[in-house]
A and B are shown apart, each in its own frame.
Chain A
Amino acid sequence: MRAIFRAFKYIIIGILFGIIMTKSEAVSWYRIQEMFRFQSIFMYGIIGSAVILGIILVAIIKEYRLKDFYGRPIYLGEKDKRWKRYLIGGSIFGMGWALTGACPGPIFVLLGQGYTVMFITIAGALAGTTFYGLLRDRLPQ
């Protein structure tokens, strides 16, 4: 029963995410093109306002050492400091983002919208993930 409640909670949050991503138009291929062509403030406004609010939120969490729902201190992961993987990996993802107009979340949101062709993109993404898993030890980190 508790497992069902727990699953239900994250499904609800996911539903909100799917609705927000759709209504924000952040899932739009056209909007991503507009962003990469610097022709509107729209996507920068979305990401920028999310980050500004996020910075304030994280600062409050750290300042007051806020606890989560289960009473544990809220922990925000530190990313390790090697930079090559972020730059190279990030650039590779950026190419895929421009091509499909979608990042990993929107791929699944678009599937829900009825763009079943996203199954192919999901297959591609899983293949790419597997390929990374195979090559990981041989890549510069």
Chain B
Amino acid sequence: MVVRRRPALRKAKMISLLSKPWPWYVSGPAIAGIMAVLLFFGKSFGFSKNLSNICSMLGLGKQISYFNFNWKKQLWNIWFLVGSVIGGYIAVHYLQSSEAIKLSSATIADLQKLNIPFDGHLEPEAIFNWNYLHTGRGLFIFLGGGFLIGFGTRYAGGCTSGHAISGLSNLQLPSLIAVIGFFIGGLFTTHLLFPYIFK
């Protein structure tokens, strides 16, 4: 006799499978899938464009010509942004894994030297909180870091999604140059600035 699994049980199994940490060879293709779906709807995957969209929505186009465009044509991207916030909420509330992330032991040791504890969460809880923001270091990381992200991505005309994923997929040399830039900045900050910032 064939035993049919109840749909509810199947759903529960599905959720428990999704809740496990995903290996990179699942995540990478899934990200390419997002790009594919957006292309299918005639849109191009580029998240940092939203920073300009928000500035344009706030009416900055009147003073600064760079923001003087019809942001309503980019409304889809704003909805995508809204979805990404909801997605973050859903992922941690319903698809949360109880396992600690499997960070390399070399990274854990390096961060230890900088007095940054590894707590197994996605973000170091000792840093990602409002109390830490009240330290000069915290303000520099979150406000200064944000400023560099906004300025840099708009100057480079794209971020990880626009250049590293969309641009490289389309074999764009400028995107390769941008990605090399991402690493110049990231390596410089990690290896040369972090010892000063966190000491």
Interface residues of A (CB under 8 A from B): 6-7, 9-37, 39-43, 45-51, 53-55, 57-58, 61, 68-70, 72, 74-83, 85-105, 107-118, 120-134, 136, 139
Contact = CB atoms under 8 A, between A and B. Distances in A.
Contacts of A7: 75-76, 79
13 contacts: A9-B41, A14-B83, A18-B87, A19-B90, A42-B24, A57-B36, A74-B42, A83-B174, A93-B159, A95-B189, A96-B148, A117-B142, A133-B66
Contacts of B188: 91, 94-95
B88 A45 contact: no
Given A55-B168, A90-B178, A133-B66, A39 B107 contact: yes
Nearest to B22: A23
B25 A14 contact: no
A123 B190 CA distance: 23
Contact of B30 (A24, A43, A94, A120): A24
Contacts of A72: 42
A40 B107 CA distance: 9
Contacts, number: 482
A57 B152 contact: no
B14 to A, nearest CB: 13
B181 A89 contact: yes
A132 B89 CA distance: 31
Contacts of B32: 49-51, 53-54, 57
Contacts of B7: none
A113 B145 contact: no
Contact of B148 (A30, A55, A92): A92
A39 B38 CA distance: 33
Nearest to B130: A117
B143 A124 contact: yes
Given A120-B142, A128-B146, A33 B47 contact: no
Interface of B: 18, 21-22, 24-32, 34-42, 44, 47-48, 50-52, 54-55, 60, 64-67, 75-77, 79-92, 95, 101, 103-104, 106-107, 110-111, 118, 122-124, 127-130, 132-133, 139-161, 163-175, 177-191, 193-194
Contacts of A27: 88, 122-123
The 4 closest A-B pairs by CB, nearest first: A18-B87, A14-B83, A90-B181, A94-B185
A124 B145 contact: yes
A35 B79 CA distance: 30
A92 B27 contact: no
A15 B133 contact: no
Contacts of A113: 88-89, 91-92, 122
A103 B169 CA distance: 19
A82 B174 CA distance: 8
Given A55-B169, A68-B40, A76-B166, 14 more contacts: A18-B84, A23-B18, A29-B123, A30-B107, A32-B186, A46-B24, A79-B173, A90-B152, A96-B145, A111-B88, A113-B91, A126-B51, A130-B150, A131-B147
